[in-house]
Amino acid sequence: MSQKTVLIVGAGIAGASTAWHLASLGGYRVILLEMEDAPDRHSTGRNAAILRTAMPDPILHGLARESLDFYRNPPNGFCSQALFEPVGLYLAATAEASEDFLGWTGNPDCQTGAHRVPSSQLYERIPQLAPGIEAVVHLPEEGVFQVAEIHHSFLRGATKAGAEVRYKHSVEGLCIDEGTLQGLFVNGELLKADSVLIAAGAWASEITREANLPMPLTSYRRHILVTHPLPAVKKDWPVVWIAGAEFYFRPESGGLLLSGCDQQPVAPEHGEISDDSALALAAEKTDRWLPTFTDAEMPFYWAGMRTFAPDHRFIVGPDPRLPGLHWAAGLGGHGITCAPAVGKLAAEWITSGWSKHPQATFLAPGRFPAEPCPR
Ligand X SMILES: Cc1cc2nc3c(=O)[nH]c(=O)nc-3n(C[C@H](O)[C@H](O)[C@H](O)COP(=O)(O)OP(=O)(O)OC[C@H]3O[C@@H](n4cnc5c(N)ncnc54)[C@H](O)[C@@H]3O)c2cc1C
- 47 makes contact with ligand X (CB under 6 A): yes
- 30 makes contact with ligand X (CB under 6 A): no
What kind and span of H or E run contains 135? strand 135-139
- 157 makes contact with ligand X (CB under 6 A): no
- 218 makes contact with ligand X (CB under 6 A): no
The DSSP letter of residue 365 is G
Distance of CA 97 to the CA centre of its chain: 25
User: Which one of the spans 4-12, 75-83, 133-141, 153-161 is the region binding ligand X (CB under 6 A)?
Assistant: 4-12
- 150 makes contact with ligand X (CB under 6 A): no
* CA dihedral sign, ordered 205, 206, 210, 211: negative
- 222 makes contact with ligand X (CB under 6 A): yes
The partner residues of 50 in beta bridges, in order of sequence, read 144
| Phi, psi angle pair for 40, to nearest 5° | -115, 30
CB of 118 to ligand X, least distance (A): 26
- 24 makes contact with ligand X (CB under 6 A): no
Per the CB < 8 A criterion, the answer to whether 193 and 181 are in contact is yes
Each residue 314-333 as x (binds ligand X by CB under 6 A) or -, in order, gives: -----------------xxx
User: Which one of the spans 6-14, 53-61, 67-75, 276-284 is the region binding ligand X (CB under 6 A)?
Assistant: 6-14
What kind and span of H or E run contains 165? strand 164-166
The partner residues of 329 in beta bridges, in order of sequence, read 315
- 88 makes contact with ligand X (CB under 6 A): no
Exactly one of 255, 318, 324, 335 binds ligand X (CB under 6 A); that residue is: 335
- 224 makes contact with ligand X (CB under 6 A): yes
Query: Looking at beta carbons only, is 170 or 292 nearer to ligand X?
Result: 170
* Of 310, 298, 224, 217, the residue nearest 262 (C-alpha): 224
Which residues contact residue 248 at a Cβ distance below 8 angstroms, ignoring those fewer than 6 apart? 48, 50, 239, 240, 241, 242, 258, 259, 261
CB of 52 to ligand X, least distance (A): 7
- Burial of 99 from C-beta contacts in 10 A (0-12 / 13-18 / 19+): exposed
- 208 makes contact with ligand X (CB under 6 A): no
Residues making contact with ligand X (CB under 6 A): 9-15, 33-36, 39, 41-44, 46-50, 170-171, 199-203, 207, 222, 224, 304-306, 331-337
